[in-house]
Amino acid sequence: MNDFILDNGLSIPAIGFGTWQIPDGKPVFDAVTTALADGYRHIDTAAAYRNEAGVGRAISENALERKDVFLTTKLWNTDRGYDAAFKAFERSLELLQTDYLDLYLVHWPANSKQFENWKSINAETWKAVEELYRQGRVKAIGVCNFMVKHLDALKETAEIFPMVNQIEYQPGHTKDDVVAWCTKEKTLVEAWSPIGSGRLLDNALLKEIAAKYNVSVAQLCIKFCLQRGVLPLPKSATPAYIKSNFDIDGFTIDTADMDQLDTLKNEGWSGLDPDKVDF
């Protein structure tokens, strides 16, 4: 599986290991250590996951060199704004035991439900992220959960455009308007909850199509993202699943089955609309 290439030329390994809801300490240390042993070279965490310390320890105690692991973390909503963003970045680096990040993402847009001045809050936060990039503290920068409305607004003031937009994306929930926008602007789309946080695992259609290719439902969902040009971030704390989720080179989903997967309208969706959330 080939890396994706970001708009600034940076190579990003095609499957990232998700770490949301894996507790800090031994659980996340063991999960990340297992993922690295199985060949993952891209780890996705966030300040809000409160497991950056364990992720950092797993990477630094591993035999791999830091440069061989692509590390992403995210700026939480309470750290929006120019000055707060710098402080949040330093705190994350310290916990992660590193002096640079591969990718720094704004976790959620300030939205119009909560803030009248949502546009300027996002613009100020982004200014700090741009500055961190200019200073060479982070190799690539981006956002998460930015819908077309938030992207359009950010474009009015951004000097460097987000290289990544990490959104909820899985079979049947593909936010086609956002993906089209990002494709046009050369912003790579990453898929969070590619397996619908587990909600798609028992789906009858997915089980039927997965059986046809002799793969698991999780492998089918991960491959679906890749075939759509979207970078999947599967999470598991189970060693056998961590391994099999990375082993997806041996099959290709045919066009008819890709279309069938689109018929699962919103069955795996979390229900979170970035413009309506209260956090």
Ligand X SMILES: NC(=O)c1ccc[n+]([C@@H]2O[C@H](COP(=O)([O-])OP(=O)(O)OC[C@H]3O[C@@H](n4cnc5c(N)ncnc54)[C@H](OP(=O)(O)O)[C@@H]3O)[C@@H](O)[C@H]2O)c1
CB of 217 to ligand X, least distance (A): 7
By CB under 6 A, residue 51 contacts ligand X = no
Rounded CA-CA distance 224/229 in Å is 9
Write each residue from 77 to 116 as x if it is in contact with ligand X (CB under 6 A), else as -, in one continuous string: ------------------------------x---------
Q: How many residues bind ligand X (CB under 6 A)?
A: 27
**Is 58 among the residues that bind ligand X (CB under 6 A)?**
no
Using the rule CB under 6 A, is 44 a contact of ligand X?
yes
Q: In terms of CB distance, is 79 or 116 closer to ligand X? A: 79
| Least separation in angstroms between CB 239 and ligand X | 9
Of residues 233 through 272, those in contact with ligand X by CB under 6 A are 233-238, 241, 244-245
DSSP string, the chain: -PPEE-TTS-EE-SSPEE-TTPPTTHHHHHHHHHHHHHT--EEE--GGGT-HHHHHHHHHTSSS-GGGSEEEEEE-GGG-SHHHHHHHHHHHHHHHT-S-EEEEEE-S---TTT-TTHHHHHHHHHHHHHHHHHTTSEEEEEEES--HHHHHHHHTT-SS--SEEEEE-BTTB--HHHHHHHHHHTPEEEEESTTGGGTTTT-HHHHHHHHHHT--HHHHHHHHHHHTT-EE--B-SSHHHHHHHT--TT----HHHHHHHTTSTTTT-----TTT---
Q: Which residue, 158 or 195, is less far from ligand X as judged by CB?
A: 195
Contact string 118-137 vs ligand X (x = CB under 6 A): --------------------
| One of 98, 122, 193, 203 touching ligand X (CB under 6 A) | 193
Helix axes 176-185, 148-155, angle to 10 degrees: 30
Which residues in 139-158 contact ligand X (CB under 6 A)?
144-145
Q: Decide if residue 18 touches ligand X (CB under 6 A).
A: yes
Single out the catalytic residue among 40, 49, 104, 169: 49
Closest approach of ligand X to the CB of residue 73, in Å: 10
Assess whether 49 carries a catalytic annotation: yes
Residues taking part in catalysis: 49
Binding site for ligand X (CB under 6 A): 18-20, 44, 107, 144-145, 166, 192-198, 201, 216, 218, 233-238, 241, 244-245
